Amino acid sequence: MAAVSWSEAQATLKTMRAEQTRAPAKVLRLAAPLLKAPSSLGDEVFALYEQVCVAALDCNRPEIFEDCYSKLLSRFGKESVRVGLLDGQRLEAEGKYDEAQAKYDELLKAEPTAPTPRKRAVAIAVAKGDFETALKKLNAYLDKFPADPEGWTEMASLSLKMSRFESAKFSYEELILTNPYNHLFHQRLAEVLYTMGGNANLALSRKHFAQAVNLNTKSARALYGLLMVSKKLSLSGDKEAADLANRAQTLLAELYKGKPNEPLLNSLVTQINGPAK
């Protein structure tokens, strides 16, 4: 693995915080050299300590957690929300969900507008397998914070787990409003619509698969989806659907040409197209 410079590590970690990317092993690896000279980071070091604490919990590295946590505790005190959230997440990691929930309730009494304790309450319900409660809490959260894409992403995920496709459809529509150029949102909405079935949903599915492909022509999943839904619609004589199916098949062939799994592609395309006449 190529060495990463100090400035590259700092910039990458900052981007990961901004985008709420959860890649704990990568966080710990990139943060290690920065934490050896924390004074060079200025006040940014406290955001890094929080980031490393969460990553340490994910990777079961209590010694790293304790080291960064102690510095945050010394700087902000036991009553601060940022320290309280880490207390709650540590309890979650230990499986002490009721104690963690009590901690988040305590934080919300002190700061009723704080979003993160509400999100952690959703995470606790999910961890306990209580998806109904998780959905209720998440709905309440999104009523207060409707512009949070992470909340809508979780709503879509929970809805799919519970086969509530209308809710998942609405969630992905909200995500597309926040970021219309994210090909994954279009692709996932298309998949939900395809699953729901019916001519109207299939037509919308084709539209969003096509947009996903336009935004990322290298997405094999979007191309497969476009091929499948277009092929199904073309059976009723839809010429545009037939053209899109041909385009998707051509792009898939280009994507897999000369690769080890090219025969698998050919087999799948044969299944979708049906036996030759």
C-alpha to C-alpha distances, 38 to 5, 26, 49, 68, 71, nearest whole angstrom = 15, 18, 10, 11, 11
| pLDDT over 70 at 1, yes or no | no
The CA angle 159-162-165, to the nearest 5 degrees, is: 50
Report the distance separating Cα 203 and Cα 244, nearest Å. 12
Looking at residue 271, its pLDDT comes to 80
85-119 per-position pLDDT tens digit: 999 999 999 999 999 999 999 999 999 999 999 99
Report the distance separating Cα 42 and Cα 29, nearest Å. 20
Q: What percent of the chain has pLDDT over 90?
A: 83
Report the distance separating Cα 241 and Cα 261, nearest Å. 26
193-237 per-position pLDDT tens digit: 999 999 999 999 999 999 999 999 999 999 999 999 999 999 888
Looking at residue 128, its pLDDT comes to 94
The token pair that represents 130 in the structure block: 């209580």
Does residue 114 contact residue 108 with C-beta atoms inside 8 Å? Answer: yes
Looking at residue 273, its pLDDT comes to 77
The token pair that represents 269 in the structure block: 């395309």
Give 154: exposed, middle or buried? Use CB within 10 Å, 0-12, 13-18, 19+. buried
| pLDDT over 80 at 275, yes or no | no
Which of 85, 78, 71 minimizes the C-alpha distance to 118? 85
Q: What is the mean pLDDT of residues 164-186?
A: 97
Looking at residue 2, its pLDDT comes to 57
Q: What percent of the chain has pLDDT over 70?
A: 98
The token pair that represents 86 in the structure block: 């880490």
Looking at residue 266, its pLDDT comes to 79
Q: Helix 239-256 and helix 199-215: axis angle, to 10°?
A: 40
31-84 per-position pLDDT tens digit: 999 999 988 999 999 999 999 999 999 999 999 999 999 999 999 999 999 999
Report the distance separating Cα 277 and Cα 261, nearest Å. 26
| pLDDT over 80 at 123, yes or no | yes
Alpha carbon 93 to chain centroid, angstroms: 20
- Ramachandran bin of 78, using left for φ above 0, alpha for ψ from -120 to 50, beta for the remaining angles: alpha
Does residue 68 contact residue 56 with C-beta atoms inside 8 Å? Answer: yes
Report the distance separating Cα 218 and Cα 214, nearest Å. 10
Looking at residue 34, its pLDDT comes to 94
Whole-prediction pTM: 0.84
Looking at residue 264, its pLDDT comes to 82
Mean per-residue pLDDT of the chain: 93
Helices (H), 36-115: 44-58, 62-76, 81-93, 97-110
